[in-house]
Structure 1
Amino acid sequence: MANPQGDRAAPVPDAVHRRRWLILTVLMFSLLIVVLDNSILNVALKTIATPPPHGLGASQSQLEWAVNSYTLVFAGVLFTAGVLGDRIGRRKALVFGMALFGLGSLLAAFADTPAQLVAFRALMGFGGAFVMPATLAVLINVFDRAEQPRAIGIWVGSVGVAIAAGPITGGLLLAHFWWGSVFLINIPVVLTGLAAMLLIIPESRDPAPGRLDPLGVVLSVVGLVLLVYGIIKGGQIADFTDPWVLASIAAGLCVLALFVLHEKRSSHPAMEVSYFRNPAFTAAIAAVSLVFFALMGVTFFSVFYLQSVRGLTPFESGLLLLPLAITQLFFAPQARRVVERYGARAVCTVSMVAVAVPLAGFGFMDEHTPIWQLELLYFVMGSGMAFSMPPVTTSIMQTLPREKAGSGSAINNTFRQVGGALGVAVLGSVLSATYRSAVHDELAVLPARLRHAAGESIEATLAIAGRMGPAGRTLVEPAKDAYVHAMHVTAFGAAAVALAGAGIVAVFLPGRTAPVEGTAPAAKEPVTAGESGDQVGR
């Protein structure tokens, strides 16, 4: 595979090279808070649903949009944020995003109504969209090519840690403070991160960005927002045949098709569509999307399995995710060594199968399955993620010229975000529909006005059963059995998606390649941190 960065890339300047691991620590710090906050909110949803003064009295729909408003804005703006980072400077984009994320967190902590919380979460998503692509783009510009796989492995590992640490942190905060503390905890972290960014991170940008592509930017934002909105709404109402859902998804796909056509014809495109002609690049993008489709869908149903079926607290269920985090923390930085020995194709194929196997393993669990078996599944799943995500992310980033690192990172993260949103929506709909069908006959004992509401989810069934007193106890075990059955169906579907990803990388990713000694062809002269922008040489 020809490498657009190539060996013509000038080495990273000594002043930056000496601080590269400190810079990576700051980048991880920035990424950690953005990813952690998304998972920490899930723990607080039940508290936010309680009436004031303990909560906001949010309805189920308002709670869903408190989560989804972040995802919608984040995914819609992500690509544009990466492109702007290449143009105005990645450190500027990082500082802007962190500051906006901090402001949104402060406002969300003191929101008075559910509507305000939804709006402030959207503001946080806007800020987060500038942070995530900038962290990976800066990483590519401060590490030499030979060290990039290891650095990307650490970057990927920090994402896994954040996903697992969120529920644990949220459980601890809610045990001692009010619900707003899950947002207020971000403020000291953001302030510390901003100071570290200004002092430590060097500036870098595309030295020849060309003219801005305003039409391309508008088309990408509108297309992604419409697509993600349709996906979220379809999952929310568990009906992808709803006219509004179909119209939103279709309109989003049409606008994105116009975006691709415009980019192909533009003399100054925001995104080089030609990147997708490289099979390795396209395969890596597909692998990221499919893995997060499966992973986010399973994360969604496993929370209810642990809390509603097994009766664990949010804090206890968060602790059970530790193997998922620890494996990524320790194994992801080591993935490059395995890839050097066996090749990206073999490593990614085997590791994605290792993700699929524990997903299928959920299809054999029930209410009384020993916890150690669950922990084993999380360990294998985390290991598979740790050895698959760094190589595919490296493949994506090293396929592109270094001066396009921001847009490349945004492409990677956009497909991951859309894949995750699809996973929650599609697999969540499968879970909901299967549960409703399985529990339907058992709900015949309820008044007609309560049957539909009780069949929406296991939480709704158990809540209504609880209000019925002793008479409602007959619904508890059937509801748990119905949910376990629905989880089995959903788990096998998720495993099939992960196996599809394994098949794609097995065919299209490059195998084991020897280090290149000569020069590789380069479409453009690459840029290093020292050659671009106002480098900070402290």
Structure 2
Amino acid sequence: MKSSTTTPLELEQRKAGLLAQPKAVWAIAFACVISFMGLGLVDPILPAIAQQLHASKSQVSLLFTSYNLVTGIAMLITGFISSRIGIKKTLLSGIFLIIIFSALGGFSDTIAQIVGFRGGWGLGNALFIATALSAIVGLSTSGTAQAIILYEAALGLGISVGPLLGGELGSISWRGPFFGVAVLMLIAFIFIIFMLPAVPKPKQASSLADPFKALSYPALLTLGITAFLYNFGFFTLMAYSPYVMELDEHGLGYVFFGWGILLAFTSVFVAPKLQKRFSVVKSICAVLTLFTIVLAVMGVGTYNHSPKTVIVCVIVAGIFLGINNTLITTAVMQAAPVERSVASAAYSFVRFLGGAVSPWLAGKLSEWYHAETPFYFGALMVFLGVVTLLVRRRHLTHVDRAEGH
């Protein structure tokens, strides 16, 4: 059982605060903002790609499927690579791949080409985000929880600004956001080269088996399964809702900007307060239950041909997604007695598999049944995530205890 005694290091970390970070942490956080801008850039152009390339919703959704599938599988090798070539080289390698494959996506002429290049983009994304999270947590002087809040703030800021820029570029051409990602990541590449000092390699290199061994810990596996199920709702919102909001590229950009702003705000300011007042498990269950209700309302709004209902729900969902992202990421860092990079890789492998299946399935469900069906199915899967967490909560008592102290 973990002692409740506060160590001098923990006292120093609390006094340091969120903003008192080394230069290296800010360098990575800035690159994260640019990286996550790339994620939001392509969202407003999904209907335009479907229309101009004569593709179905499920075909366009494969942009998310290939991206998430490759990202999830590649997560298994990120620790193996970064522990051998170092954090800085791993980050630069990931960014370089994103630059190349996003640019190639902009030059594509068929949906199959874009789907393929998005897979390469996913490989770069895996190398970058897994290493960035573990690096920020490892280099931060303010403790794990504060470091994760900074990471989630970068995520929220990037996701919120990205759709605005994507909407502007997408109104010119659907190719614009792909080239926009390449340019932004080139900026991040240069920034990392000059601002991030060389970070020492870990004393013990990770093996390819480490992520699988990490999943043998029930707490980490529980969080992974929960995120796998929750991602069905998340990517239904991301990949399918643009088709039913009946907005152009500018409108979609503004909607997802509002969504991202709320996501960023709640991840930084609301999640820590919930974490202190309630247990992590209770807080995650509460926000995922509310997200389930939002998805169900989106289904009702789609059935009633009310785009305004869907628009409002997408924006409101940012509140719950921001809180959940911070809470569950913090829990993952405490879940198993393994290196943070290994825990992140193992967890991300499981959750990204959900992100790979869900976008394609959402498109197919709308083709097989009705336009509102994907939202109902997403709500069901998120609710099953809540049930999973409640049934297996005994495995997470040490996480709640650690956060309480």
Contact 2:212–2:346 (Cα < 8 Å) also in 1: no
Of 328, 348, 353, 1:413 maps to: 348
Conserved? CA contact 2:276–2:403, under 8 Å: no
Aligned to 1:294: 233
Distance in 2 between residues matched to 1:46 and 1:512, nearest whole Å: 43
Which of 380, 395, 405 matches 1:496? 380
Structure 1 alignment gaps of length 5 or more: 218-268, 436-482, 518-538
Q: 1:342: how far off? A: 1.5
Task: Tell which structure's C-alpha radius of gyration is larger.
Answer: 1
Unaligned segments of structure 2, at least 5 residues: none
Indicate whether 1:201 and 2:196 are aligned: yes
**2:401 is equivalent to residue 513 of structure 1:** yes
1:513 maps to a residue whose letter is R
Q: Secondary structure at the residue paired with 1:185? A: helix
Aligned match for 2:73, one of 66, 72, 76: 76
- TM-score by length of structure 2 reads 0.82
Once the two structures are TM-superposed, the CA of residue 291 in structure 1 deviates from its matched residue by: 1.4
User: Which residues in structure 2 correspond to 1:83-232 (within 5 Å)?
Assistant: 83-111=80-108, 117-144=114-141, 147-176=143-172, 178-202=173-197, 203-209=199-205, 213=207, 217=208
Contact 1:152/1:333 (CA < 8 Å) preserved in 2? Answer: no
Q: Does the aligned pair in 2 maintain the 1:82–1:407 contact within 8 Å? A: yes
Residue in 1 aligned with 2:294? 358
Q: Determine what percentage of the aligned residue pairs are the same residue.
A: 21
Q: Distance in 2 between matches of 1:304 and 1:200?
A: 41
C-alpha change, 1:393 and 1:109, in structure 2 (3 Å) is: same
Instruction: Give the CA deviation at 1:131.
Output: 0.6
Return the alpha-carbon distance in structure 1 between the equivalents of residues 149 and 190 of structure 2: 25
CA distance in 2, matches of 1:494, 1:34: 26
CA contact (8 A) 2:41 2:163 kept: yes
Counterparts in 2 of 1:499 and 1:82: CA distance versus 1, 3 Å: same
Kindly provide the CA deviation profile for residues 128-176 of structure 1, in whole angstroms up to 9, marking residues without a partner as x.
Answer: 22111011110121125x6321321332344344445444322211334
- For the 8 Å contact 1:284–1:393, the answer to whether it is kept is no
Q: Does 1:333 align with 2:334?
A: no
Q: Which amino acid is 2:221 matched to?
A: T
- Answer yes or no: is 1:285 the counterpart of 2:282: no
Q: TM-score if structure 1 supplies the norm length?
A: 0.63
Which has more helix, going by share of residues? 2
Aligned Cα root-mean-square deviation (Å): 3.5
Return the alpha-carbon distance in structure 2 between the equivalents of residues 125 and 378 of structure 1.
Answer: 25
- Say how many residue pairs are matched: 390
Q: 1:143 to 1:506 in 2, by over 3 A?
A: farther
Measured after TM superposition, the shift of residue 47 of structure 1 is: 5.1
Distance verdict in 2 for CA 1:380–1:316, change over 3 Å: closer
Q: Which amino acid aligns with 1:41?
A: V
Alignment map for 1:232-381 (pairs within 5 Å): 269-271=209-211, 273=213, 275-307=214-246, 312-334=247-269, 335-366=271-302, 369=306, 371=308, 373-374=309-310, 376-381=312-317
Query: Taking structure 1 as reference, are residues 151 and 167 closer, same or farther at Cα in structure 2, changes over 3 Å only?
Result: same
1:372-521 alignment, distance < 5 Å: 373-374=309-310, 376-400=312-336, 404-435=339-370, 483=371, 487=372, 489-507=373-391, 508=393, 509-510=396-397, 512-513=400-401
Residue 34 to residue 313, structure 1, CA distance change in 2 (3 Å): same
Q: Deviations over 1:512-536 (max 9, x none)?
A: 537798xxxxxxxxxxxxxxxxxxx
Partners of 1:326 and 1:504 lie apart in 2 by: 29
**Aligned-residue offset at 1:76:** 2.5
8 Å Cα contact 2:63-2:115 kept in structure 1: yes
Range that drifts further, 108-117 or 196-205: 108-117
**Rounded Cα–Cα distance in structure 1 between residues aligned with 2:185 and 2:81:** 21
